[in-house]
Amino acid sequence: MPIPQSFLDDLKQRSDIGTVISGYAALRRQGRTSKCLCPFHSEKTPSMVIYHENQSFYCFGCGAGGDVISFIMRIENLGYIEALRFLAERAGMELPEEEREDPILRIRPVIYEINRLAARFYHDCLKSEAGAPAREYFASRGLSSKTITKYGLGFAPPGWSNLRDHLRKKGFTDEQMLQAAVVVRGKNNSCYDAFRNRVMFPIIDLRKNVIGFGGRVLDDSKPKYLNSSDTPVFKKSQNLFSLNYAKGKTDRRLILAEGYMDVISVNQAGFENVVATLGTSLTAEQSRLMAQYADEVIIAYDSDGAGRAATSRAVGLLEAVGIKTRILNMKGAKDPDEYIKKFGAQRFKLLLEDAGSVTEYQLSVIRAKYDLDTIDQKSAYANEAAKYLATIQNPIERELYAGSVAQDTGVPAGTILTRVADIRKRMSRQAQKKEWSDIQQGKSNLPAGVSGTRSIGAVQAEESIIAGLFRHPDEADKLREQLTAEDFVTEEGKAVFGIIIEKLQQNSSVSLSDLPADLTREQMDYASRCYARQQGMELSLQVMTDCVRALKEYKRKESLKSVTQSDEEAIRMAELIRSRKK
């Protein structure tokens, strides 16, 4: 049977959307609504609005929207039932049994158990006679037995089927192991271990589940590091190594390192607030994840060229989600692991406290490109530095660092600031030009599937109709007599209108919080958009009727245009055939 409505109502009553979202973003109350930086896309100005009256949210920047259930589905990457279970556990409730078949829901617990057993298998192998080379490797990297146990480190022995055969004995099928990505399929359709002759690093989520693995070779073979493929429980771009230890620190500061060994070495030295990405460059999703646990991130990437490039990329992503960023300057070592081994934990602590600002770091990178003993090179440096300073929003910071550039080049600070002002004006004009171009092309905040200014009026009309149904469900019968779902111009509009009408015919309620189980993410975003866009507007039956008329008129013109185009095409084809006969 489906989840009882009484349970859903009780769950939502105990899961205030403002309280839930405040665990992921800082809210600023404004009367009957609150605002925050959207955790689903990079932004510096809050564009997500929480509507406390109807327990919904909508982001005017990226279009994400819904109720508390759809928020948890999106932020925690969960299915509908899993989101219900997540909120139920939070509220101290027990989720009722239900019979709906969901393949992803069924396989997730299986994958978690496979991963748990695989991690135990690798750890046991590390302690066995076969694991001697791996133990020697960890010892050479200075890891204590306590640290090895804390992180559950292990060893995947040589051979093609050690883990596969072990898991078969536990009752798991090859297909289940494939879905967990602990085996891969060979050319002859048989399966073999994904990790072989590697030291192993289990990746653990915030709920203490093993969700994937990283493995490092013990010789010079390639690839040096190998990470689990994405699975129903693991996405490399959405998780961070060791966040389970780093979260919840009182100073809300994280250290971002480059790899597993850096993280483990820093953690062993007494700094638990350290994380790393999982074989990829930092992503926007990982930045938003860090923003939930930190106000400041100290980037501790390698000091080589690749590390500097990765640092520059990470700075932009972290600042875009409102995180203050500082850069570690590790003189005398290439990475945190080497620095701690050479200079000790106390020196590393002082290094963290002395980490430089992003602007200092970026100017030092620019300055390193030029020989400041020549006039041409000084001029080139001053110009590139001015372009960078033009991107800084704080005018006091721009002025201070313009003075620093002036000292390096001998160019007066006023001249540099004039150049910065000219660049900022040009950037502003370009941004305005692009915004106007987007509006003309119909790209400005339109739902998916809608393009071109000719559709904007029809889209606004259908949004008003949906919003009117939320506000005046008693008018649904009158509207249903005038139009059908096929009269809508977007696929989302057709789907949402159809579901709302169906629910009303069944005497069900149609508030935004009643829809997550019936709508896709895109459809829920659309429904939330309709509600949010029409706040404060008149939505009487007359207004809705006018919108129906506008929508049907648009469809009529589109139909006539289609017929005309078909006639013109038929004429061209007939002329082509006649010309070929001649």
In a domain, 574, yes or no: no
Q: Which of 74, 73, 58, 68 is nearest to 530 (CA)?
A: 58
Residue-level pLDDT at 155: 97
Task: Evaluate whether residue 379 is within a structural domain.
Answer: yes
pLDDT higher than threshold 60 for residue 437: no
Question: Any idea what the CATH number is for the domain that residue 85 is in?
Answer: 3.90.580.10
The tally of domains found in the chain comes to 5
544 or 574, which is more confident: 544
- 457 with 405, same domain: the answer is no
User: Is 90 exceeded by the pLDDT of residue 146?
Assistant: yes
In this prediction the pTM is 0.65
Closest C-alpha to 292, from 12, 20, 33, 522: 20
Q: How far apart are CA 422 and CA 353, in angstroms?
A: 36
Q: 414 is written with which tokens? A: 């006023």
CATH number at residue 327: 3.40.1360.10
CATH code of the domain covering residue 515: 1.10.860.10
Domain C-terminal end among 234, 256, 279 = 234
Are 427 and 464 in the same domain? no
Residue 242 lies in a domain: yes
Element (H, E) at 420: helix 413-440
Tell which residue, 285, 111, 122, 113, has the closest CA to residue 202.
122
Query: How far is 443 from 533, CA to CA, in rounded Å?
Result: 17
Q: Is 331 exposed, middle or buried (0-12, 13-18, 19+ CB in 10 A)?
A: exposed
509 and 435 within one domain: no
Is residue 575 in some structural domain? no
- Residue 148 shares a structural domain with residue 60: no
Max avg pLDDT among 385-399, 468-482, 505-519: 385-399
Q: Which of 336, 368, 400 is the last residue of a domain?
A: 368
Range of the domain at 494: 453-565
* Domain shared by 422 and 488, yes or no: no
In a domain, 573, yes or no: no
Domain match, 137 and 170 both: yes
Half-sphere exposure of 375 (CA within 13 A, CB side): 0
Q: Sorting pLDDT into bands at 50, 70 and 90, what band is 539? A: low
Q: Find, among 360, 410, 405, the residue nearest to 386 by Cα.
A: 405
Q: Do 414 and 477 have their domain in common?
A: no
Within-domain flag for 409: yes
Nearest to 510 by CA among 502, 82, 316: 502
272 and 297 assigned to the same domain: yes
In a domain, 27, yes or no: yes
Please report whether residue 576 resides in a domain. Answer: no
Contact 256, 300 (CB under 8 A): yes
**Angstrom distances, CA of residue 471 to CA of 153, 170, 528:** 56, 55, 13
Do residues 262 and 355 both lie within one domain?
yes
Same domain for 229 and 257 = no
What's the whole-number mean pLDDT along residues 515-544?
A: 74
Say if residue 398 is in the same domain as residue 436.
yes
pLDDT tier for residue 1 given thresholds of 50, 70 and 90: very low
Please tell me whether residues 140 and 222 are part of one structural domain.
Answer: yes
Domain boundary among 384, 410, 440: 440
**Pairing mode of beta strands 296-300, 253-257:** parallel
Residues 275-302 as b/e (b if ≥16 CB within 10 A, e otherwise) read bbbbbeebbbbbbbbbbbbbeebbbbbb
Q: At 235, is the secondary structure helix, strand, or coil?
A: coil
Each residue of 349-389: pLDDT tens digit? 999 998 888 888 888 888 888 988 889 999 999 999 999 99
